[in-house]
Amino acid sequence: MIDSAHMVLMVATVLFALGLVGVLTRKNVVFMLISVEIMLNAAGLAFVAAGSKWQQPDGQVMFLFILAMAAAEVSIGLALVLQIYHQHKTLDVDRLKELRD
Amino acid sequence: MHQLLPYIPAFPILGFLVLSLFGRKLSKPVIATIGAGTVCLSALITIILGFSFLQTEPPGGVYDQLLWSWFSVGNLSVDIDLRVDALTLVFIFIITFVGALIHIYSAFFMWHDGDYARFFASMNLFVCSMLLLVMADNLVLMYLGWEGVGLCSYLLIGFWYEVPSNCRAANKAFLITRIGDTALLIGLFLLFKEVGTLNISGILHQAPDQFATGSSNIVLITILLLAGGMGKSAQLPLQTWLPDAMAGPSPVSALIHAATMVTAGVYLIARMHVLFQLSPVTMVIIAIIGALTLFVAGCSALAQTDIKRILAYSTISQIGYMFLALGVGAWSAAIFHFFTHAFFKALLFLAAGVVIEALHHEHNIFMMGGLRKRMPVVFITFLAGAAALSALPLVSAGFFSKDAILWYSFSAANGNPLLWLMALAGAFITALYTTRLMLVVFWGETRTPVHRQPGQGMVIPLVVLAFLSVTAGFIEWPHNMLHLTLFSAHVQKVLPETLLKTTLPSESLFQLIAALVTLAGVFLGYILYYGKPGIRWQQSPALAGIREFLFGGWKFDQLYNFLFVKPFVFITRINKSDVIDKMYNGIAQAGLRLNSWFSVSQNGSLRLYIVGVLAGILFIITLQLLL
């Protein structure tokens, strides 16, 4: 076993990359939101790993913050998704292009 | 007694504050009470002060009241300090007393105007500024009043601002007097640099030690001060604003453009007389300017048809007499002419206001006529004012003051027969145009019906002023008639006595000539205008050119237009896109260009935005790792 923190960081990187690819490739807004959640959790995992590496509670405290923020973000995001669906009858980001020059 | 001093300007400023802050909410009777009442209170205090001054003269001949220190920078400290000596007393008496009469008149004259409160607020502010101007103990405070009266003049000329020509007249008055004001300000700076104080009594005390008579410094300073006075007092070549200033309501013309503000230049020169005496060149210039102005303006008045413009030109001409008197060193005669002129010219403007009101705002004298029978009170008061203006011998105040100026323009040490001839010609012209005005307006046939008779409130000020126009001259008699020289004895507590030439012809001869010339002017006017309904001789083509020339005030406006306005407009036009403009235009152009480039990227695709954010993050991280 090389270094548990190192391994966890690798996992976090993979998770982040997965989330990013999801945001970039998915067409549906709901799935993009889920991908963003995955990226947030990857960042949280990195914090926890760093906390365990240095034997400090800060990492876990930060994760709690991220959880709370993610919850808030999702609630607003879902409300927006609902409204978008009400007004445009679609959730395809490639068709939601009204805000352009 | 000196504790009373601050209340004189304080009441009008209080009236101004109340009217300008709460004017819209107050009813008209309340506004009139505040507006006219505050000035009446000031007049009352001034009269009490004047009595105590005349009974027991204060130590040094000065009431002095230090209120507070205004500011103090380096070795310059400026106080708010009020000071009343014999000269100031004459001015504050005229400002508050004539001012109070005009305010009472205005309360009735302006009754139907929508902006009643604004009118009285401006008038009160004017009275306060004018009082500060003459009561100031130092030149900075005086300059504050000086600018204050300029501002109020601007506000009141443009009082009926819905008419564009009124706004143009207000702008013109403000801009032209500003030329003089700037010169005055530079003069004050120079004076401070040379003397090191701006306290008036300090300057007058130190100047004789500081400056050699006729040295270039003092000549420059006095000429700059004179330029300031010329702007405010509408003397050649800065006189063109006053006839246009008649766009304001008649009480404004009476108060500001006849009795008080336009004589600020006379006050300035009389106040700084020590400086001017040190510079004989400037004195000669003042006398020449006065003589030219009184002649030029008098000729212009001959050709005018607007009743108020005639009076405006006659005001310029009468102030020309005052300047002439100052220039020849007849200080007390100049102030005496100011004193009588304030009464009769205010009276003439107020009476003209009544006539204009009664005839449906008709200004053209040839549309009036026959008012003698139909408005008898106005006729009699106007007659008293006109007699004083044309200086009818012995029965008018104007005679005593103007005769003194005529006599001194010849006999004073600086006097000159040429100046006397100019003044005499001016007296002839004055009598001629005054007779023309009287005969055309009050005799002859009715051309416009009278639709409203003036009320009691307007008649009483007229009667008081008419009484004073006849009697105010009796306090100062020529030396060869009666030994009664109350006025000059009073003023000469401050101003030096007039120096006379050593050998002189008889004064009585000069008085006889002056009286005959005046009567000749009246007689010529009578021949030309009495009972001539068509006034056919005026239409002759030979005279049309001259009349046109005089009607336009010797074409000074066109001259200035040609000399200053046109070249200025030309330069600004060719300089419209200069280097600095190019820089600012370039910034705007670059902004537009960048916008058109980058707005392509705003295409609404969320994915592209995310890629952009990602690229940015990668760029920053890479940079962080590399450095």
Indicate whether this model's pTM tops 0.90.
no
Closest partner residue to A98 among B604, B607, B610, by Cβ?
B604
Of A35, A19, A28, A29, the residue nearest A80 (C-alpha): A29
Q: Are B99 and B39 in contact (CB under 8 A)?
A: yes
Nearest CA in chain B to A23: B607
pLDDT tens, residue by residue, B366-402: 888 778 888 888 899 999 999 999 888 878 888 888 8
At A1 the pLDDT is 45
Cross-chain residue pair A23–B604, CB shorter than 8 Å = no
Express each pLDDT in B216-261 by its tens digit: 888 999 999 999 999 998 888 888 899 988 888 999 999 998 888 9
Q: B37-46, B136-145, B380-389, B552-561: which has the minimum mean pLDDT?
A: B552-561
- In sign, the C-alpha dihedral spanning B127, B133, B135, B136 is positive
Which residues neighbour B294 within 8 Å (Cβ) at sequence distance 6 or greater?
B316, B317, B318, B320, B321, B324, B422, B423, B426
Q: Tell me whether residues A100 and B607 touch, CB distance under 8 A.
A: no
Buried/exposed code over B289-317 (b: 16+ C-beta within 10 A; e: otherwise) = bbbbbbbbbbbbbbbbebbbbbbbbbbbb
Contact A24 B602 (CB under 8 A): no
Nearest C-alpha in B relative to A97 = B604
Q: Give CA–CA dist B240/A16, Å, rounded.
A: 83
Candidate from A20, A32, A99 with C-beta closest to B604: A99
Q: How many residues does chain B have?
A: 627
3-state SS, residue B76? strand
Cα gap B573→B577, rounded to integer Å: 9
Which residues, numbered 568 to 627 in chain B, qualify as contacts with chain A under a Cβ-Cβ cut-off of 8 Å? 599-600, 602-607, 610-611, 614
Q: Which two tokens stand for residue A15?
A: 């998770």
Instruction: Evaluate if residue B427 carries a pLDDT over 80.
Output: yes
Helix then strand then coil, % of chain B, to nearest 5: 75, 5, 20
Cα distances (angstroms) measured from residue B540 to each of B299, B526, B544, B555: 18, 19, 6, 21
Distance from CA of A27 to the nearest CA of B (A): 9
pLDDT of residue B445: 79
B451-489 b/e with 16+ CB inside 10 Å = b?
Answer: eeebeebbbebbebbbebbbebbebbbbeeeeeebebbe
Q: Which stretches of chain A drop beneath a pLDDT of 50?
A: 1
Nearest to A93 among B599, B606, B611 (CB): B606
Interface test with A, best of B596, B599, B607 (most A CBs within 10 A): B607
Closest-CA distance of chain A to residue B571, Å: 43
3-state SS, residue B505: coil
Distance CA B374, CA A8 (A): 113
Domain definitions of chain A by residue range: 4-88
Chain A residues with a Cβ under 8 Å from any Cβ in chain B: 20, 23-24, 32, 93-94, 96-101
Which residues have CB under 8 Å from B297's CB, separation 6+?
B239, B313, B314, B316, B317, B320, B553
Q: Cβ B604–A94 below 8 Å, yes or no? A: no
**How many Cβ atoms are within 10 Å of B52's Cβ, its own excluded?**
15
Q: Quick one: CA torsion of B111, B117, B120, B122, rounded to 10 degrees?
A: -140
Distance CA B131, CA B9 (A): 6
| Contact assignment for A24 to B611 by CB distance below 8 Å | yes
Residue pairs spanning A and B at CB distance below 8 A: 27
Residue of A20, A23, A97 with shortest CB distance to B605? A97
Overall residue count recorded for chain A in this entry: 101
pLDDT averaged over chain B? Answer: 87
| DSSP string across B79-138 | EEEEEE-HHHHHHHHIIIIIHHHHHHHHHHHTTT-TTHHHHHHHHHHHHHHHHHHHHBSB
Nearest 10 degrees: Cα torsion B368, B371, B377, B383: 70
Q: Which residues of B touch A24 (CB under 8 A)?
A: 607, 610-611
Which tokens go with B369? 């006529």
pLDDT of residue B532: 65
Report percent pLDDT > 90 for chain B. 34
- The confidence score (pLDDT) of residue A11 equals 93
Question: What is d(CA B106, CA B98) in angstroms, rounded to the nearest whole number?
Answer: 12
HSE-up of residue B289 (Cα within 13 Å, Cβ side): 27
pLDDT, mean of residues B31-38: 91
- Closest alpha carbon within chain B to A25: B607
Which residue among A24, A99, A100 places its CB closest to the CB of B607?
Answer: A24
| Bridge partners (DSSP) listed for residue B410 | none
Asked if B602's CB is within 8 angstroms of A100's CB, the reply is yes
Cα B587 from chain centroid (whole Å): 48
Position B534 confidence tier, pLDDT thresholds 50, 70, 90:
low
Taking CB atoms and an 8 Å cutoff, what residues of chain B touch A94? 605, 607
The answer to whether residues A35 and A23 touch, using CB atoms and an 8 Å cutoff, is yes
Residue B537 pLDDT > 60: no
Q: Which residues of B touch A22 (CB under 8 A)?
A: none
Q: Which residues of A touch B602 (CB under 8 A)?
A: 99-101
% of chain B surpassing 70 pLDDT = 99
Question: B149 CA to chain A: closest CA distance, Å?
Answer: 57
What CATH number has the domain spanning A4-88?
1.10.287.3510
Closest to B610 (Cβ–Cβ): which among A23, A99, A101? A23
Best of B594, B606, B610 to mutate (most A CBs within 10 Å, chain A): B606
Contact check, Cβ <8 Å, A93/B607? yes
pLDDT of the residue at B366: 82
Q: Do B603 and A100 touch (CB under 8 A)?
A: yes
Of A67-71, B52-56, B89-93, B619-623, the range with the lowest mean pLDDT is: B52-56
Counting other chains too, the contacts that B164-169 makes at CB distance below 8 Å and 24 or more residues apart are: B165/B247, B166/B247, B166/B248, B168/B244, B169/B241, B169/B244, B169/B245, B169/B246, B169/B247, B169/B248
More confident residue, B486 or B438: B438
- pLDDT tens sequence across B176-216: 999 999 999 999 999 988 888 888 888 888 888 888 888 88
Residue B614: list chain A partners with CB under 8 A.
Answer: 20
- What pLDDT, on a 0 to 100 scale, did the predictor assign at position B148? 92
Question: Using the beta-carbon criterion (under 8 Å), do A99 and B611 form an inter-chain contact?
Answer: no
Q: How far, rounded to the nearest angstrom, does the alpha carbon of residue B44 sit from its chain's CA centroid?
A: 24
Q: Give the SS3 label for residue B77.
A: strand
B533 pLDDT above the threshold of 70: no
Question: Residues of A with CB below 8 A from B607's CB?
Answer: 24, 93-94
pLDDT for the residue numbered B123: 92
* Closest Cα in chain A to B614: A20
Tell me whether residues B604 and A97 touch, CB distance under 8 A. Answer: yes
- Report pLDDT for B151: 92
Nearest to A100 among B604, B610, B611 (CB): B604
Helix (H) or strand (E) holding B67: strand B63-73
